[in-house]
Amino acid sequence: MREVDFGTAPLTPYRDVLGAERLDRLREAAEHVAVALHGRRVWNVNSTSAGGGVAELLHALLPLARAVGIDARWLVIDGDPEFFAIAKRLCTRLYGAPGDPEPLGSEQLRHYRKVTELNGTALAEWVRPGDVVVVHEAQPAGLVDVARRLGATAVWRRHIGRDVPNEHTRDGWAFLRRFVEHADATVFLTEQHRPDWAPRPHIIPPSIDPCAPKNMELTEREVLDVLRCTGVLGGGDGEPVTVRPPVGERIEVRRQVTAVREGPPPPATVPMVVQVSRWDELKDMEGVLHAFLAADVPGSYLTLAGADVEGVADDPDAARFFDDCCRRWAALPEEDRRRVQLLCLPMEDLRENAVVVNAVQRHATVVVQKSLAEGFGLTATEAMWKGRPLVASGVGGLRDQVVDGESGLLLGDPHDLGAAAGLIRRLLTDPELARRLGEGARRRVDEHYLPDRHLLDWANLIGSAVAMEVV
Ligand code: UDP
């Protein structure tokens, strides 16, 4: 287990985005909590510091929590490949998909417990009685009971889910429930994912960080320079590009993306449909590919972009899904292959990676998030903040985020490729609708999914927890 070093956010850039009034309200609430905590710490425990939604969320929130006076910390658990394969299977089943064909039986339980025990021993070195420990997701869930034994208040936060339970979710819960049902409180991203038995449940949607490299403003010039220099678009001369985020050091973008495509990179002028996601069956990149081709809008181009499959420590299946997707692409007729690129974005430098994601999203004419199941779908929030018109499956948190026809278009049945194609075509061919939905999307994020609202929700939860010594 190791501690992630994340520093303290400067508040001025947040004041510029949120306005003084919103920031003052947040500081006031945080002050009350800091007084109630009285020197006790708020630990967050998860399974990776890079890649995926949980890491993204913690990077966005914790430096700001510190800046307003909460002693927030972040620990990442250790595990061997077998443990991560079990945890991945568990997460996939909780999403409602079978995942790999292996079981979640007594042998897996034994191994999960063994790794949990090792992490538990490490946790005891950090956590003191009275601290608050927020355990994120299924991988470290076994630490809920450990934290309680250490005298801490243990909160389990779930980030994934399936709207309607099925045999796979039941399989997942049969494994996981025992580890989380004694938590002092549980937190869900959306009401739809809360099981009946959840102890002291709270609904807290996540937020994005508007000042982070992923979401900061970029000029049109910067967007094009970044995309050309990394090889997402054609016309680059290989020269690195430097951008200056409102928080932290300047960022040099220079690494090339790994691209699977036919012919040269597309020019900046083509209308671009984009999905940015992990390479995972539930993100349905292949479905996006087929829906895009079926939309059949002349001159348009599709970019499917995901983190480099070598770069995400807790996701052993990514390479397999990327390869599957490449095979689907390779089997297309040449004229179709010429309209689609599959990109792996380098993960060596996370801030550089974030700037590339930012530029890809900003450049998109239409953003798609055609997930078959979704926890919340931060990629959608990110694109909406950039004022992009979005087609999103009506599942999980995507359904909360997108008000159909106001802040994007919802795809009722995420498996319906014909309907997905129709929505993509609508946005590509109706610029006025696309503009209106893009503006609505930006407003929606401003009102609901920025860090001040998120931290206020946590301040309430932690405040009530420490006030009563139990949530
Ligand atoms: N992401 C990233 N680099 C990449 C691809 C994705 O940082 O190359 C980020 C993406 O911007 C988003 C997160 O990974 O912030 C994915 O979160 P989401 O909630 O969409 O899905 P999850 O991966 O947690 O299922």
Give the atom of ligand 1 at the shortest distance from the alpha carbon of 354: 7
The reported pLDDT for the residue numbered 317 is: 82
> Beta strand 241-243 with 251-253: parallel, antiparallel or unpaired?
antiparallel
In this structure, which amino acid lies at residue 268?
A
User: How many CB atoms within 10 Å of residue 194?
Assistant: 17
Q: What is the mean pLDDT of residues 255-274?
A: 97
pLDDT band at 463 (very low <50, low <70, confident <90, very high): confident
| Rounded distance from Cα 67 to ligand 1 centre (Å) | 25
The reported pLDDT for the residue numbered 236 is: 87
Give the atom of ligand 1 at the shortest distance from the alpha carbon of 57: 15
Closest CA to ligand 1's atom 10: 379
* Beta-bridge mates of residue 203: 188
Q: What is the pLDDT of residues 103-116, one digit of tens each?
A: 999 999 999 999 99
Give the atom of ligand 1 at the shortest distance from the alpha carbon of 344: 8
pLDDT greater than 50 at residue 471 = no
The reported pLDDT for the residue numbered 470 is: 44
Give the atom of ligand 1 at the shortest distance from the alpha carbon of 307: 8
The reported pLDDT for the residue numbered 237 is: 85
| Rounded distance from Cα 466 to ligand 1 centre (Å) | 32
Range from 52-61, 261-270, 351-360, 451-460 carrying the lowest mean pLDDT: 52-61
Q: What is the pLDDT of residues 71-106, one digit of tens each?
A: 999 999 999 999 999 999 999 999 898 989 999 999
Q: What is the pLDDT of residues 30-50, one digit of tens each?
A: 998 898 899 999 999 999 998
The reported pLDDT for the residue numbered 469 is: 61
Closest CA to ligand 1's atom 17: 53
Compute φ and ψ for 470, nearest 5 degrees.
-150, 145
The reported pLDDT for the residue numbered 151 is: 97
Question: What is the Cα–Cα distance from 48 to 139, expressed in whole angstroms?
Answer: 10
Select, from the ranges 24-33, 281-290, 303-312, the one with the highest average predicted confidence (pLDDT).
281-290
Edge-to-edge strands of the sheet including 366-369? 258-260, 340-345, 301-307, 272-276, 366-369, 390-393, 409-411
| Rounded distance from Cα 346 to ligand 1 centre (Å) | 13
Give the atom of ligand 1 at the shortest distance from the alpha carbon of 208: 15
- What CA–CA distances, in Å, run from 430 to 194, 239, 246? 38, 36, 34
Mutate to test the pocket of ligand 1, among 54, 190, 278, 309 (most ligand atoms within 8 A of CB): 278
Q: What is the mean pLDDT of residues 172-178?
A: 98
pLDDT greater than 80 at residue 280 = yes
| Rounded distance from Cα 38 to ligand 1 centre (Å) | 35
Question: What is the Cα–Cα distance from 60 to 450, expressed in whole angstroms?
Answer: 10
**Ligand 1: residues whose CB is within 6 Å?**
52-53, 56, 214, 276, 278, 306-307, 345, 353-354, 357, 375-379, 382
Closest CA to ligand 1's atom 4: 307
- Overall pTM > 0.85: yes
Counting every residue, how long is the chain?
471
Closest CA to ligand 1's atom 12: 379
* CB contact burial 74-104 (16+ within 10 A = b; e otherwise): bbbbebeeebbbbbbbbbbbbbbbebeeeeb
Question: What is the Cα–Cα distance from 68 to 386, expressed in whole angstroms?
Answer: 26
Question: What is the Cα–Cα distance from 111 to 109, expressed in whole angstroms?
Answer: 5
| Domains, the chain, ordered by start | 2-207+450-470 (3.40.50.2000), 220-448 (3.40.50.2000)
Question: What is the Cα–Cα distance from 253 to 231, expressed in whole angstroms?
Answer: 11
